[in-house]
């Protein structure tokens, strides 16, 4: 493959949205950041230079990083952050992935403004399993705060409260017509009648799952998370943060201007959420602008914010295009609870969580704490002790009614720790991800670094190993890197641990990772040359 060299200068820039300007962190002064386009088999070499006052790392969301864990990017997991004034070069090869991925900062809440698309075309000489679209458009859905997002999360962390919700959603960085001071800059996507377009949707929002629809047009889903899917038609998509969905859109409607609109799917009852709608305009040739027929864009109908049926049905409709070879037999049968929790307020302080508590979140009742002196991957390779312990449990400490209403107070308080679960190279891993109703039940988009996994099944209520295994899709389960675990429900994923390194698994709602909804897998080296992690690059940042 080809080698693509890029330089990412992380720098501040004043940006005006919703009538207000403030400095945001960007890559190369662009918001969203630059789109990277490669072919499967190509190598990316990206030199990241940190010119801001924050620590920075960049994560290549969904890239498998076979044997190149040093380039994965989550801070204190695979590298120490790039300090202000520092630089680090990420080097990795795309191996057997085609479709839409993205990159984002993986330090505090920087990814609110530091993100961009990563488009992987088929290997040179091969083509899509559908006819070549006339136009390909990355569509990044984002979330905007009127103030510095780092200040938002830091303020919440100081008091233990929930951070402020966003002030707007955005499409390719712009809130769009329905917000104040935003109509002039609304994102416009020009199209021509009678053509097929490939729209590459990415939910790069921080904390919100989003419904998306295009007025008047049906979408044919052909890919998700850089894997092809069995094509199916739909009028609405639902993407959790981290997820991507590729759709074909035929411009088969009367020439006019049509809105693409996105707004929240909010599964947690009673919790506040951003109730605004972002729009972009799909504009047929010769239909612009005011005064001409069809100049007023048409709004699509979106599901209600709490329409869990639509949200779950969309996820469940995604399948692999052809029967797959399911990894089996399972060597590691894991059961992880995922959910919120509350910690006690230290005496003498006032805390911002419900009834003077501190918000927390956990897996199997452990709330993940990042190390600070060395990354987990370095600690593993250099055998530095007392950085992590390898005793993350295979199952929760006690069995209980996870989705019940009256969960005992004792289970509300997770334990803060830095635990990993060790996996032998090549083992077949199955994880039941069980949502809980501690504090609040919510849909959780769970993302695994370094792997794609099959989603065997999803369901509501408590997972029942006697009856729910019958629901597994053993024919054409989808291959993804982020799974929406339904509110008060469960998802089962399966993968082969064929990529040595330390790999974070976490909820992609940043507010939940802030509260500790994460754990990490340590996948040991195999014995072959291709089964062993490469040596760290010489410029790997020091802590």
Which residues would be at the binding site for ligand C2O (CB under 6 A)? 59, 61, 74, 104, 106, 242, 447, 449, 504, 506, 508
Least Å distance, CB 512 to ligand C2O, is: 12
Smallest CA-to-CA distance from 141 within 238, 26, 219 is with: 238
How far is the C-alpha of 319 from the C-alpha of 316, rounded, in Å? 8
Give the integer Cα–Cα distance in Å for 239 and 214. 14
Taking the least distance from each CB to ligand C2O, the nearer of 74 and 138 is 74
Query: What minimum distance in Å lies between the beta carbon of 426 and ligand C2O?
Result: 24
Q: Least distance in Å: CB of 222 to ligand C2O?
A: 22
Q: Which residue has the tokens 């704490």?
A: 369
Find the shortest distance in angstroms from Cβ 518 to ligand C2O: 8
Q: Which residue number, 488 or 499, has a Cβ lying nearer to ligand C2O?
A: 499
Helix or strand run (H / E) with residue 456: strand 453-460
Distance CA 227, CA 246 (A): 9
φ, ψ at 12 (rounded to 5°): -85, 155
- Which lies closer to ligand C2O via its Cβ, residue 282 or residue 497? 497
Residue 3 in tokens: 């080698």
Nearest to 220 by CA among 249, 254, 258: 249
Nearer residue to ligand C2O within complex by CB, 118 or 212: 118
Residue nearer to ligand C2O on the CB measure, 202 or 260: 202
Residue whose CB is less far from ligand C2O, 57 or 251: 57
Q: Where are the beta strands (DSSP E) in 266-304?
A: 277-284
- Helix or strand run (H / E) with residue 526: none
Cβ proximity to ligand C2O: between 68 and 488 the closer is 68
Considering beta carbons, is residue 61 or 419 the nearer one to ligand C2O?
Answer: 61
Q: Judged by CB, which is closer to ligand C2O: 59, or 263?
A: 59
Least Cα distance to 485 among 209, 99, 93 occurs for: 209
For the record, the structure tokens of 269 come out as 């009852």
200 or 447: whose CB is closer to ligand C2O?
A: 447
Kindly tell me which of 61 and 494 has the beta carbon lying closer to ligand C2O: 61
Hey, what are 354's tokens? 């419900």
The encoded tokens of residue 375 equal 């990354």
Identify which of residues 61 and 444 has a Cβ nearer to ligand C2O in the complex: 61
- In this chain, which residue has its C-beta nearest to ligand C2O? 61
Which of 349, 352, 353, 389 has its CA nearest to residue 368? 389
Three-state DSSP class for residue 187? coil
Q: Nearest distance from residue 111's CB to ligand C2O, in Å? A: 7
In the complex, minimum distance from the CB of residue 361 to ligand C2O, in angstroms, rounded to a whole number: 15
In whole angstroms, the minimum distance from the beta carbon of 104 to ligand C2O comes to 6
325's CB contacts (< 8 A; 6+ apart) are none
Nearest distance from C-beta of residue 441 to ligand C2O, angstroms: 23
| Burial classification of residue 497, based on how many CB atoms lie within 10 Å of its CB (0-12 exposed, 13-18 middle, 19 or more buried) | buried
Three-state DSSP string of 184-231: CCCCEEEECCCCEEEEEEEECCCCCEEEEEECCCCEEEEEECCEEEEE
CB of 508 to ligand C2O, least distance (A): 6
In the complex, minimum distance from the CB of residue 163 to ligand C2O, in angstroms, rounded to a whole number: 18
- Pairing assessment for the beta strands 227-234 and 219-224 based on DSSP bridges: antiparallel
**Strand residue runs (E) in 307-427:** 332-344, 357-363, 366-368, 415-417, 420-423
Least distance between ligand C2O and beta carbon 216 (Å): 32
B/e letters for 419-448, b = 16+ CB within 10 Å, e = fewer, are bbbebebebbbbbbbbbbbbbebbbbbbbb
Cis peptide before 32 (omega within 30 of 0): yes
The CB-of-74 to ligand C2O minimum distance in angstroms stands at 5
């Amino acid at each position: 493959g080809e080698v693509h060299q890029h330089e990412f200068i992380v720098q501040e820039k004043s940006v005006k949205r919703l009538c207000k300007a403030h400095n945001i962190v960007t890559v190369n002064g662009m918001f969203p950041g630059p789109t990277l386009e490669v072919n499967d088999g190509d190598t990316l070499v990206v030199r990241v230079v940190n010119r801001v006052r924050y620590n920075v790392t960049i994560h290549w969301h969904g890239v498998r990083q076979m044997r190149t864990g040093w380039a994965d990017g989550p801070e204190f997991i695979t590298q120490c952050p790039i300090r202000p004034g520092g630089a680090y070069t990420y080097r990795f090869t795309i191996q057997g992935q085609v479709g839409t991925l993205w990159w984002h900062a993986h330090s505090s809440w920087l990814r609110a403004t530091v993100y961009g698309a990563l488009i992987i075309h088929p290997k040179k000489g091969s083509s899509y399993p559908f006819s070549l679209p006339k136009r390909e458009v990355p569509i990044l859905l984002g979330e905007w705060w009127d103030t510095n997002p780092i200040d938002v999360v830091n303020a919440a962390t100081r008091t233990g409260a929930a951070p402020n919700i966003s002030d707007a959603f955005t499409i390719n960085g712009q809130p769009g017509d329905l917000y104040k001071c935003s109509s002039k800059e609304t994102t416009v996507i020009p199209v021509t009648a009678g053509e097929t377009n490939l729209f590459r949707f990415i939910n790069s929002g921080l904390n919100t799952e989003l419904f998306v629809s295009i007025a008047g047009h049906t979408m044919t889903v052909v890919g998700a998370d850089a894997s092809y899917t069995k094509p199916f038609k739909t009028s609405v998509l639902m993407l959790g943060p981290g997820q991507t969905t590729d759709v074909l859109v035929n411009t088969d409607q009367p020439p006019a201007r049509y809105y693409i609109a996105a707004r929240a799917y909010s599964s947690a009852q009673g919790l506040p959420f951003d109730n605004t709608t972002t729009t972009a305009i799909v504009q047929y040739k010769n239909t612009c602008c005011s005064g001409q027929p069809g100049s007023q864009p048409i709004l699509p109908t979106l599901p209600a914010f709490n329409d869990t049926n639509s949200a779950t049905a969309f996820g469940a409709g995604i399948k692999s295009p052809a029967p797959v070879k399911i990894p089996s037999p399972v060597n590691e049968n894991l059961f992880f609870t995922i959910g919120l929790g509350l910690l006690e307020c230290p005496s003498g302080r006032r805390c911002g969580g419900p009834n003077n508590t501190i918000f927390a979140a956990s897996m199997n009742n452990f709330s993940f704490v990042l190390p600070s002196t060395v990354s987990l991957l370095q600690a593993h390779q250099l055998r530095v002790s007392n950085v992590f312990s390898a005793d993350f449990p295979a199952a929760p400490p006690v069995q209980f009614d996870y989705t019940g209403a009256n969960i005992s107070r004792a289970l509300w308080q997770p334990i803060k720790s830095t635990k990993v679960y060790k996996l032998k190279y090549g083992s077949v891993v199955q994880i039941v991800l069980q949502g809980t109703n501690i504090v609040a039940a919510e849909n959780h988009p769970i993302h695994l670094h370094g792997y794609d996994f099959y989603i065997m099944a999803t369901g509501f209520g408590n997972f029942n190993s006697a009856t729910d295994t019958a629901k597994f899709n053993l024919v054409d389960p989808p291959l993804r890197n982020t799974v929406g675990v339904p509110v008060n429900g469960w998802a089962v994923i399966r993968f082969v641990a064929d990529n040595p390194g330390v790999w974070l698994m976490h909820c992609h709602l940043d507010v939940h990772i802030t509260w500790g909804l994460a754990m990490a897998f340590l996948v040991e080296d195999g014995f072959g040359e291709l089964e062993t992690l490469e040596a760290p690059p010489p410029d790997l940042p020091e802590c």
